[in-house]
Amino acid sequence: MPELPEVEIAARNIRAWAEGKRIVRVETDPRAVRIFRPGDRAAFARALSGARLARVDRRGKHLLVTLEDRRGRPVGLWSHLGMTGKWVLREGADPAPAHARVRLWLDDGRALHYLDPRLFGRQRVVPRADFAALPEVAALGPDPVHDGIDPGLLAGRLGATRRAVKVALLDQSILAGVGNIHASESLFAARIDPRRRGGDLSLPEVRVLARAIAASLRRGIEMQEGPEIAYVEEPGAPNPFRVYARERERCPRCREAEIRRIVQAQRSTFFCPRCQGTPVARGRARRA
């Protein structure tokens, strides 16, 4: 599933492929009606036909594409990759890739394709490119790559929640862009039990966690660098992660315990019960 690194690569790719180019034709897949909701396919195509792609931004897992319509007025494209979405570039003569839901034909003869087998993604036209007016964007917390992670701020946000720290990290209003993979990987790197309450972490622990999140996302971006992102869930895809989707494998750090999988808020969490043991007594002492 896309997290900040995959969406960052998508933003860089679209920037390199299409910035400054004009969209001469828009095609949409009639089977993909749901990705355009609450808009519809016809309005989507109408709004983007003839527009010039002016800039591509990313906030958390959200792609924010600013275009200029034929009269030079700004119009926005909000693109969320959902669970299986990706943008790719194809030459005009190439056959359409499987699961292409949107095709933006550019004035250089090439086409940007939005692929989405499972249709959990979203593509929406944003009037005047006023992305801040979208509730999905307005609710986002700091972006770890654009804004950095302020440990004091993060500690404050975690301190205000009774949820387990792993569950809190998936809350996009706390940090925008962290998903299931990088939450598990960061907590492993920081040696923090994912089941501990967010509010029970000490400031030094949050500092370590903040560094671990930043490093995990940076590494994710480096791994995904290239013309097409790959998801670990795809058949045959390699798993470059240390604990994610490695249930019952030996821990790569202590080499003693086996990685465990538990379910928190309906999502899988992977961790090493030995390296990430709960320091109960110390945790209580800190709070006293």
Q: Where in the sequence numbering do the catalytic residues fall?
A: 2-3, 61, 267
Distances in whole angstroms, Cα of residue 233 to Cα of each of 51, 166, 222: 35, 20, 18
149 part of the interface to Zn ion, by CB under 5 A: no
Q: Please choose, out of 93-101, 149-157, 193-201, 274-282, the segment that lies near Zn ion by the rule CB under 5 A.
A: 274-282
Q: Please choose, out of 69-77, 129-137, 203-211, 267-275, the segment that lies near Zn ion by the rule CB under 5 A.
A: 267-275
| Rounded (5°) CA angle 106-221-206 | 140
Distance CA 244, CA 238 (A): 12
206 part of the interface to Zn ion, by CB under 5 A: no
> Which of 51, 155, 209, 272 touches Zn ion by CB under 5 A?
272
Q: For residue 147, count other CB atoms closer than 10 A to its CB.
A: 13
Mind giving me the DSSP string for 44-68? HHHHHTT-EEEEEEEETTEEEEEEE
Say whether 170 sits in a helix, a strand or coil: coil
> Given the complex with Zn ion, which of 257 and 262 has the nearer CB atom?
257
160 part of the interface to Zn ion, by CB under 5 A: no
Q: How far is the CB of 277 from Zn ion (least distance, A)?
A: 9
- Give the count of alpha carbons within 13 A of 254, CB side only: 16
> Which of 254, 265, 280, 285 touches Zn ion by CB under 5 A?
254
111 part of the interface to Zn ion, by CB under 5 A: no
243 part of the interface to Zn ion, by CB under 5 A: no
Sheet holding 62-68, edge to edge: 52-59, 62-68, 74-80, 122-127
> Given the complex with Zn ion, which of 153 and 215 has the nearer CB atom?
215
Task: Name the residue among 62, 69, 71 with its Cα closest to residue 23.
Answer: 69
Q: 26: which 2 tokens? A: 């828009």
129 part of the interface to Zn ion, by CB under 5 A: no
275 part of the interface to Zn ion, by CB under 5 A: yes
> Given the complex with Zn ion, which of 36 and 188 has the nearer CB atom?
188
274 part of the interface to Zn ion, by CB under 5 A: yes
Say whether 69 sits in a helix, a strand or coil: coil
259 part of the interface to Zn ion, by CB under 5 A: no
251 part of the interface to Zn ion, by CB under 5 A: yes
Residues in touch with Zn ion (CB under 5 A): 251, 253-254, 257, 272, 274-275
